[in-house]
Homo-oligomer: A and B are copies of this chain.
Amino acid sequence: MPEPTPLDLPEGHPFGPHNLPYGVFSLPSSQGEPLRRVGVRLGDRVLDAGAAAHALGSPYASLLAQPTLNPLLAAGRQTWRDVRRALTAWVTVPAHREVVEPLLHPLSAVELHLPFEVADYVDFYASEHHATNLGRMFRPDGEALLPNWKHLPVGYHGRAGTVVVSGTDVIRPSGQRKAPSDAAPGFGPSAKLDIEAEVGFVVGTPSAMGSPVPLSSFRDHVFGLCLLNDWSARDIQPWEYVPLGPHVAKSFATSVSAWITPLEALESARVQLPARDVPVLPYLDDSDEDEPGGYDLRITVTLNGDVISEPPYATMYWSPAQMLAHMTVGGASLRTGDLYGSGTVSGPQTHQRGSLIELTWNGSTPLELPSGKRTFLEDGDEVTLTAWAPGPDGVRVGLGEVTGRVVSG
């Protein structure tokens, strides 16, 4: 039997001391609103990070004894490194065990909250396979990719106020839809409610208006990442989206995982992007960057417990650094808490598609699942995204799951 790690962590646990993602939790309270505070996940427990910092006389006690991650996010990259180094020591140095152990709460005993206050939310469309699939479906006689797609990471602003934490029910939206054959639009609950399996990037360090963020500054600004499900009403979008993009079809709910994985935990997961076949403008050209731009994140999507897809993030065409550079190239500033999504992650294989519209080819080839046949989501359906990435020494880095159940509107 291997030596147990300090704090009795099973060897090789994907949420071991090599990971240490951040979240916000509360304990049940008999009086008033329970106190929210920063937590760090360790195995299947949550460390009360502010309390640990206080008990161990750390200078980060006030940064961590907060109801959101925003103060930590705003503190900048050197502090992110220093806090992570301190946390690693607290959970691995045996001398701290007596202090730390009582500050670890079982996941089952805590409530997890939206970990940060979302400033702006931008969603991209960075998977070539996803964009190609949608192009083939909706423009069967034209080029699958639109002319701009390989020149810039296409993206648009979404609704920050409806970003919700994993576990929040998703209320089926209603809206207008009109098939080309209909004389006038109709109204009702969406009959094509879908998921989009994505990765979200969380901005820490702000930037000034008029100062684009170059590729090389990506990790000075982006603190970490999360899993993200951008729920979408496929029947509302085609009618509303010309000429200014999606609105009601995508503004009702976006779910994020309760845990934000710091980029520092994902060093072993960095991979080269797929080969680029169209030259890009200098602000997006990462061929001279020292470090690879991609991340090898292996996502699994389950519907009512059945695996329906395994999208590989490593196949994305545009890197998170490129998305950030494009988002700011016109001079838009960044704020602490800005969130940007990758867009649906779809790989080249059919079982790697990150949305039901792709998996069922717009409903024409239903999924035959043990739990039943599905084209789009039915009331009561529960969708869960999980993921892991290669970590140091062959261990996995677990990403926090994002789950949501559809309820009728």
Contact = CB atoms under 8 A, between A and B. Distances in A.
Interface in A163-189: 164, 171, 173-176, 178, 184-185, 187
6 contacts: A120-B161, A155-B244, A156-B247, A159-B332, A248-B327, A252-B331
Interface string A49-75: 000000000000000000000000000
A63 B233 CA distance: 40
A47 to B, nearest CB: 31
Given A244-B156, A409-B210, A331 B161 contact: no
Nearest to A157: B157
A139 to B, nearest CB: 10
Given A209-B252, A252-B331, 12 more contacts: A154-B247, A157-B157, A157-B251, A162-B332, A174-B329, A236-B330, A243-B245, A247-B327, A248-B326, A248-B327, A248-B332, A331-B409
Contacts of A252: 209-210, 330-332
A344 to B, nearest CB: 12
Contacts of A7: none
A343 to B, nearest CB: 9
Q: Give the number of copies in the complex.
A: 2
Interface stretch (A92-100, A219-227, A333-341, A362-370): A333-341
Nearest to A281: B187
A347 interface: no
Interface string A226-253: 0000000100100111111111110111
Contacts of A246: 156, 244-245
A148 interface: yes
Contacts of A154: 240, 243-244, 247
Contact of A119 (B158, B161, B253): B161
A243 to B, nearest CB: 6
Which of A125, A174, A251, A282 has the most chain B CB atoms inside 10 A of its CB?
A251
Contact of A173 (B122, B155, B331): B331
Interface of A is mostly: loop
B125 A244 contact: yes
Contact of A245 (B178, B245, B327): B245
Contacts of A209: 162, 164, 171, 252-253
Interface string A77-98: 0000000000000000000000
Contacts of A248: 326-327, 329-330, 332
6 shortest A-B CB distances, which residue pairs? A245-B245, A173-B330, A171-B210, A248-B330, A157-B157, A156-B244
A351 interface: no
A120 B159 contact: yes
Contacts of A152: 176, 185, 239-240
Given A120-B161, A184-B151, A240-B154, A281 B176 contact: yes
A273 B159 CA distance: 29
A119 B244 CA distance: 20
Given A151-B176, A283-B187, A157 B330 contact: no
Which of A148, A240, A241, A331 has the most chain B CB atoms inside 10 A of its CB?
A331
Nearest to A158: B157
Given A152-B240, A154-B240, A246-B245, A251 B161 contact: no
